[in-house]
Amino acid sequence: MNTKNKELRHDRHTVSLLSDHIVFAPKYRGKILVDDVAMIAEGIICKTCAEMGIEIIEIAINPDHVHIFFRYPPKYSLSYIAKKIKGVSSKRLREAFPHLKEWCGDHLWAPSCFHGSVGNGWEVVSKYIETQDIHHAKNAIYRPRPYVRGL
């Protein structure tokens, strides 16, 4: 990872160092992000982020979910960023791949997502996203977790 990514962001009236790790999945956790769909999805997400002034540090497109680690300007809320990325990519992917529209209707992505604020743990998050392929290859067999009361 480039140390430049940790530099403060200087905007017109603010100085910031805001970063987030977001994870979201297709509707029904479908394994649809493969081959051309994954490649086009990454391009759409990167372009959408660039248009908003969001710097992607790491991105991983897995068959059933997406990880993005990014820096963002303080003028955007995290909910707005997620809504914009998911909305634009959903629309464009369904236009490019009509079979997705038949599969999921008007909404490609599940309504929820995970946000993890990243403080000084940049290297840890970056490494985690980089190694997603290895992580998911090891856990390819479904192993249900034991029920724990209260969780």
Which listed residue (72, 76, 128, 142) is catalytic?
128
Query: Sign of the CA dihedral 74, 77, 81, 82?
Result: positive
128 catalytic? Reply is yes
Under a CB-based contact definition with an 8 Å cutoff, are residues 34 and 63 in contact? Answer: yes
DSSP-assigned beta bridge partners for residue 117: 20
Query: What amino acid positions are annotated as catalytic residues?
Result: 128
